[in-house]
Structure 1
Amino acid sequence: MATTERITTPAPGPRGSAPDADGAWSADPYALALGNGRGPLFLRRTDGWLLPLDVERWCAEADAADLEVLRRCEGAVLDVGCGPGRLVAALSRQGRRVLGIDVSEAAVARTRRLGAPALHRSVFAPLPGEGRWGTALLIDGNIGIGGDPAALLARTGRLLAPGGLLIAETVPDLDLDERVQVHVTDARGATGAAFPWARLGTPALLRYAEHAGWRAVAQWTAGGRSFAALRSGRPSGSRAAAG
């Protein structure tokens, strides 16, 4: 992936903190957008900058870029921040062992309506099969969950089996390391509560990963999106499949 710029913004809170984003992602703008299957919907920074959220793609069937991600998954799959459930549903239809988790009740409800398993749960809360998942997914910008990539990588490593796989989607074409306060907003100006968020390009993700003992095993682009696969460096001692 081409590196064109490196941008760093200080973290908004103490390292290792796991802010509760349930209220933000369950606010009416997000829930309504998922209910309608369309936007416009945005993350708004405190300086007014808007990041469009691709609600229509999230609510559609898994596309070719998604299917390439799913092809690389190993063992039982945990989709962290599963949203309306397209990846969980696609894996379930393939007969794969999979679970989606999300802090949004609307997202979990939509995932379940697709016939796919999902829990209303934060990644930082106790989860089934801890230490036994074969693959964890952080897709659609979910490497930003909690606004602290190092804390999220550490938590994900504890969820995976030894040598487990993490597949994360990153910001294309930027060496970006941005940690800011944002809130969900729609075209009418309705907003949810503010919460910490992060955006990473692949180079920044790989720096965090190397520091935390992960091993990069693949990088690729598809459909204008960028992805990286990391192998857990956690010592053995747990079973390799979720139960």
Structure 2
Amino acid sequence: MSPRTALRPALRTGTAEPWVDDPFGRAVRAGRGPLWLRRADGSRLALEVERWCAPAAGADHGLVLRCLGLSAPVLDLGCGPGRLVAALLAAGVPALGVDVCAASVEHTARLGGLALRRSVFDRLPAEGRWGGVLLADGNLGIGGDPGALLARAGALLAPGGLLLVETAAQEVDEVADVRVEGPDGAGPPFRWARCGPAATLRRARAVGLERAERWDSHGRSFLALTRS
């Protein structure tokens, strides 16, 4: 299954879609977890629903700061409940979110932001003209192919634009089959990736992106990338 197919919003075809027909939307509407990514081997990774639904804080402010003064608006890929879109708008930075989950799009709107319900691999407005593109909160894992996602995100940037990527804090490089799991059940399986700073940078350089900055904040790790 391609990343595009794996992440397209459900259109009532009878096939369950990850992040759409699973507990994620219910958790966003409730504003709390618990919620996990459950691997096929039984191990699981906690999802920080409460932090995502709360106002921007901590390391989020570093992302917003790096968007100030960009020559064009910012696109938040996999925006979730919209806290970064809202924080950017509050700082005077025009921003748009993109997410496959209807609950995330609705939550972003309640915060005063704008988000589109679609896959990051679908056609998006102003392709090649965004001053900044965000891949935060583990969204580098979208589609299970970090190289393809980084190439897609880089293609959305305007010349001189900045791609801000949150990596795994530790040096990990893995792709796994996972499900979104909550107390009331689990959704369909899909591919998900996790990459630390070094693995992310290797993939970025392979698709024509170069490191502009690397930083750590509040236990989280980030890279700023530009098109070479």
TM-score by length of 2: 0.92
* 2:171–2:197 CA contact under 8 A, matched in 1: yes
Deviation at 1:28, TM superposition (A): 4.1
1:147 aligns with 144
The percentage of aligned residue pairs carrying the same residue is 53
Does 1:64 find its partner at 2:47? Answer: no
1:6 aligns with none
Does 1:88 find its partner at 2:85? Answer: yes
Deviations 1:105-128 (A, max 9, x none): 111111011110100011100100
Q: How does 1:27-176 map to 2 (within 5 A)?
A: 27-73=21-67, 74=70, 75-172=72-169, 174-176=170-172
1:177 aligns with 173
Deviations 1:59-108 (A, max 9, x none): 00100210111100123100000000000011112221100000101111
Does 1:222 find its partner at 2:217? Answer: yes
Aligned residue identity for 1:133: W
Aligned residue identity for 2:136: I
Q: Secondary structure at the match of 2:5?
A: coil
Q: How many aligned positions are there?
A: 217
- Partner Cα separation in structure 2 for residue 33 and residue 65 of structure 1: 23
Does 1:213 find its partner at 2:208? Answer: yes
TM-score by length of 1: 0.86
- Partner Cα separation in structure 2 for residue 214 and residue 164 of structure 1: 11
> Taking CA–CA contacts closer than 8 Å with sequence separation of 6 or more, which of the two structures ends up with the larger relative contact order?
1
Does 1:232 find its partner at 2:218? Answer: no
Query: Where in structure 1 do 4 or more consecutive aligned residues deviate above 6 Å?
Result: none
Deviations 1:138-191 (A, max 9, x none): 00000011100111011111111123111111111x221111111100134x01
2:6 aligns with 20
Aligned residue identity for 1:20: A
* 1:19–1:195 CA contact under 8 A, matched in 2: no
Q: CA RMSD for the aligned pairs? A: 1.3
* 1:19–1:196 CA contact under 8 A, matched in 2: no
Gaps of 5+ in 2: 10-16
Aligned residue identity for 2:74: V
Gaps of 5+ in 1: 1-12, 234-243
Q: Secondary structure at the match of 1:231?
A: strand
- Partner Cα separation in structure 1 for residue 53 and residue 202 of structure 2: 32
- Partner Cα separation in structure 2 for residue 46 and residue 108 of structure 1: 29
* 1:145–1:152 CA contact under 8 A, matched in 2: yes
* 2:74–2:134 CA contact under 8 A, matched in 1: yes
